[in-house]
Amino acid sequence: MNFQTVIGLEIHVELNTKTKIFCGCKNEASREPNENICPTCMGYPGSLPRLNQKVVDYALKAAMGLNCEIQRSTHMDRKHYFYPDLPKGYQITQAAKPLGINGQLYLEKAKKTVRIQRIHMEEDTAKMMHRKESTEIDYNRSGVPLIEIVTAPDISNEKELLEFLEELKNLLSFFEISDLKMEEGSLRCDLNINVVDQDRDIKTPVMEVKNLNSFKGAVKACLYEQRRLLETLETGCELTKETRGWDQKKEETKTLRKKEDSLEYQYFIEPEILPLQLSEGKVRNTASRIPELPQKKRSRFKEQYDLPDYDVRILTKNPYVADFFEQTVLVCYAPKRISNWIMTQLLSEMPRGLEGFKELPLKPKDFGKLMALMEGGKIPKKVGEKILKEIIITGENPKRVLENRNLGPITDEQEIREIVKELINKHRKALQDYQKKPGKTINFFMGKGMERTGGRLDPCKLREAIKQELLLINQQKKEE
């Protein structure tokens, strides 16, 4: 069978504005349920919404980043349905005139453009918590600003799906408008998928898959659903449009709602919020403040710093790591060394991974100084790593750490001699092989010496000292 999978996405991004979309309540996670609430986000009678202009700014940035046409005159709509988590009986959203339309995102690996149909602003619903005997409602999330991004059905397989999600997250991270955490729900993705049998020219109905809480989950759900739909195509089983949920533990999707009883939302213009007019100035101003976006950054990094693709991808994952890299390079021009250190030594010390570059106590200036110390041969790698472990937490100047902690190189020959003597006394057994394999014995003591001093010994001088000392011992033995 010659088949084609067709995937479109609906992505919800929680915006990290200080306050909610229609009231002055704080937009942040709270310890207790129902801490950040007021009559407006509770949908109390007599309350009125007020559109947070920051939400418009944030949505505008995202729309521009995705190359959308901006609709200058737009408005909010009401989408009606009854559900306990929807306090007003309608959601304030944009239906008829979304802020952005006809955008696109290019996938470099798939060499494909995915069209963005629309980006619009809307409010989040409250959260329901199901207990044994009852369901409780937490209105903290009610009125949290969202943007919804809807793609055309341009994605054909799980690889493209993953690349799209990664690319989108990568892009949005540069606007700093959201935490973008899928596990925490600040980035949510619904999959619309169907399979077309090109030989017989038949296709399955579209399945909407919800509750995907990681990129991995999205890929697995995509493969699962694709297989399920293919099987039904082969067996000729009849299907109807459905909304399905991904069960992360069982790794399967199951029916949430058949689309036959799909809701009629009875949209109409929100009369309590005046229509929105985006001035030429505002649009231009936002456009001028759009940062360099990942794809452009990647090609520049590649050219300017002569780095391999792999390094470039990681260094442009978010604006914080990209800035950190570039500012470090300004202090010490050693792009590849810096890139390596960021990807290995630095990242291994950062529990939050690349995200951690946002609030790193270590400043690129100091990291650059450390790189310069190594670049100039002043300290060996081992010492550098030791210093890094300290300054990544304290944000101290690496030179000062080097001086204060006795981490400087030991170059005094007498001192090295003493250390070597001590080591030989400690490891007399190692001398037995000296006649047969002198190189091995020397290397053994080299290692012990470095270990003892944390790599601070000048390797040439150490080797010299070991050789001489071993020779001496050997001579003494012969004399005996």
Residues making contact with other proteins (CB under 8 A): 39, 42-51, 78, 80, 82-84, 87-90, 135, 137, 139, 264, 266, 268, 271-274
**How many CA atoms within 13 Å lie on the side-chain side of 406?**
2
Burial 380-397 (b: 16+ CB within 10 A, else e): beebbbbbbeebbeeebe
What are the E-state strand segments in 111-228? 112-123, 127-130, 135-138, 145-151, 187-197, 202-203, 207-212
Tokens of 179: 């935490």
Within 10 angstroms of residue 369's Cβ, the number of other Cβ atoms is 20
- State the nearest-atom distance from the C-beta of 261 to other proteins, in Å: 11
269 conformational bin, left if phi > 0, alpha if psi -120 to 50, beta if neither: beta
Residue 120 DSSP label: E
Reference 118, options 158, 67, 180, 157; nearest CA is 67
Give me the amino acid identity at 86: L
| Three-class SS state of 123 | strand
Output the CA–CA distances (angstroms, integers) from residue 261 to 88, 229, 238, 240, 257, in the order listed. 22, 21, 17, 11, 8
Nearer to other proteins, 93 or 226 (CB): 93
Backbone angles phi, psi at 222, to 5 degrees: -60, -45
What value, to the nearest 5°, has the Cα angle with vertex 288 and ends 283 and 294? Answer: 115
In this structure, which amino acid lies at residue 302?
K
Q: How far apart are CA 402 and CA 106, in angstroms?
A: 47
- Could you identify the residue written with the tokens 């038949």? 202
List the beta bridge partners of residue 73: 277
Q: Can you list the positions of beta strands (E) in 139-185?
A: 145-151
The tokens for 465 are: 């000292």
Q: What are phi and psi of 260, to 5 degrees?
A: -60, -40
Q: Distance (Å, rounded) from C-alpha 126 to C-alpha 129?
A: 10
Please state the closest distance from residue 262 (CB atom) to other proteins, in A. Answer: 13
Pairing of strands 100-107, 112-123: antiparallel
| CB of 4 or CB of 266, closer to other proteins | 266
Cα 402 to chain centroid, rounded: 34
Identify which of 454, 462, 478 has the alpha carbon closest to the alpha carbon of residue 421.
462
